[in-house]
């Protein structure tokens, strides 16, 4: 069994959600060992989090700046190989750039940054560093998402005509942020979330998924960003019409004010030879409707799935597999890339995928403000 890569973490202290998800995912295959961190802007939180995770006190850092500097000075056999950034959006760019410049690989939660300008600066930093950079749009790690991509790219659907991506939640249907709920508070705060709310939080997932699977590129869009909850400063409901290169069209909807919806991410693609439909809340199945009306239900790990999809499958068919394993597949591919090993094509989202998401946000903001179609370069 090979030695795990040493990794540090910025963010993810006590009271955070996504940091724990990343820690479970990175541990699933034994590719990483978490040995250092600055888990919070509160040093006490960092110390207690480190203690609970079995991290040595001297590697629980009061700031990410101190962490990068100290880790870079350690002998090569002790310092971290990579860092995982799981902070709110406004604290992605600075630590990512610093750790890249200090010689470390970076894996970062989405969206890439809080603004397009930050994203462009970060993309340039990645290029200068020569280091690996992964972005955890975790749904690209699902086996049946990969199967859908393989089918589309093989020509099984013919020429795509329509693409629909929908991501509906209901947890922000009321003014939850005023109660002090931590996850609601930062996601609805422009200073921490950036210029958008639902669009950045979940809409970018839907956008990444539709381009990843379809292989199409949005060239124009017409967006309506709306806020339903009185007093909320960022959008909580979005509708976007899409025009793709090649003549296809589509619709993207992201909303966090739909009562009864928990994590309703779905993707539907319609071509000249058939159609595909995938739903995140039933992630182990992919519905394939052929031109003669025949409906095939493909299952994760099934005998007819592609080698690429099977490479992301961990347990026998019939057993639920999804959210954590999707993250873990990205971490596994990230580890392989650090080691110089090969993997499936587009094994994990990169800084360029993140920059594409920020350009999508920027174009949506401009389109919504002007009530007009806007290009997406």
pLDDT at 1 over 80: no
Identify the CA nearest to 108 among candidates 116, 117, 123: 123
User: Which residue ranges form the domains of the chain, and what is each CATH number?
Assistant: 5-131 (3.40.50.720), 144-316+351-370 (3.30.360.10)
Task: Name the helix (H) or strand (E) containing 161.
Answer: strand 160-168
Residues of the chain with pLDDT > 70, as a percent, come to 100
Report pTM. Answer: 0.96
Dist CA 61 CA 333 (whole Å):
28
Q: How many residues does the chain have?
A: 377
**325-360: b (≥16 Cβ within 10 Å) or e:** bbbbbbbbbbbbbbeeeebbeebbbbbebbbbbbbb
Residue-wise pLDDT for 345-371, tens only, equals 999 999 999 999 999 999 999 999 999
Residue-wise pLDDT for 218-234, tens only, equals 999 999 999 999 999 99
Residue-wise pLDDT for 176-226, tens only, equals 999 999 999 999 999 999 999 999 999 999 999 999 999 999 999 999 999
Q: Kind of pairing, strands 237-244 and 218-226? A: antiparallel
What residues does 235 pair with on adjacent strands? none
Kindly give, in sequence order, each residue whose CB lies less than 8 Å from that of residue 323, ignoring residues fewer than 6 positions away: 21, 138
């Amino acid at each position: 069994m090979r030695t795990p890569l040493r990794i540090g973490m910025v963010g993810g202290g006590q009271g955070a959600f996504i940091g724990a998800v990343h820690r479970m995912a990175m541990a699933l295959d034994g590719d990483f060992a978490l040995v250092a961190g600055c888990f919070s802007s509160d040093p006490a939180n960092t110390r207690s989090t480190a203690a609970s995770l079995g991290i040595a006190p001297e590697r629980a850092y009061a700031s990410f700046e101190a962490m990068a500097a100290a880790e870079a000075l350690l002998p090569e056999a002790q310092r971290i190989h990579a860092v995982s950034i799981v902070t709110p959006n406004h604290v992605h760019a600075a630590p990512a750039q610093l750790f890249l410049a200090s010689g470390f690989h970076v894996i970062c939660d989405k969206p890439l940054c809080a603004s397009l300008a930050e994203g462009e600066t970060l993309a340039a930093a990645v290029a200068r560093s020569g280091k690996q950079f992964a972005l955890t749009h975790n749904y690209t790690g699902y086996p049946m998402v990969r199967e859908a991509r393989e089918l589309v790219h093989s020509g099984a659907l013919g020429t795509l005509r329509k693409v629909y991506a929908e991501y509906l939640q209901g947890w922000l249907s009321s003014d939850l942020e005023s109660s002090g709920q931590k996850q609601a508070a930062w996601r609805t705060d422009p200073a921490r979330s950036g210029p958008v709310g639902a669009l950045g939080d979940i809409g970018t997932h839907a956008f990444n998924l539709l381009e990843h699977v379809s292989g199409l590129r949005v060239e124009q869009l017409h967006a309506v960003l709306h806020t339903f909850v009185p007093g909320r400063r960022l959008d909580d409901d979005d509708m976007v019409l899409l025009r793709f290169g090649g003549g296809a069209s589509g619709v993207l909807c992201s909303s966090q004010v739909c009562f009864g919806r928990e994590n309703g991410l779905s993707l539907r693609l319609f071509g000249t030879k058939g159609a595909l439909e995938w739903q995140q809340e039933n992630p182990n199945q992919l519905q394939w409707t052929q031109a003669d009306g025949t409906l095939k239900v493909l299952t994760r790990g099934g005998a007819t799935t592609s080698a690429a999809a099977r490479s992301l499958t961990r347990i026998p068919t019939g057993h639920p597999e999804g959210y954590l394993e999707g993250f873990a597949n990205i971490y596994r591919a990230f580890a392989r890339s650090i080691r110089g090993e090969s993997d499936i094509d587009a094994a994990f989202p990169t800084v360029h995928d993140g920059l594409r998401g920020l350009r999508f946000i920027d174009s949506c903001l401009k389109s919504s403000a002007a009530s007009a179609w806007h290009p997406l370069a």
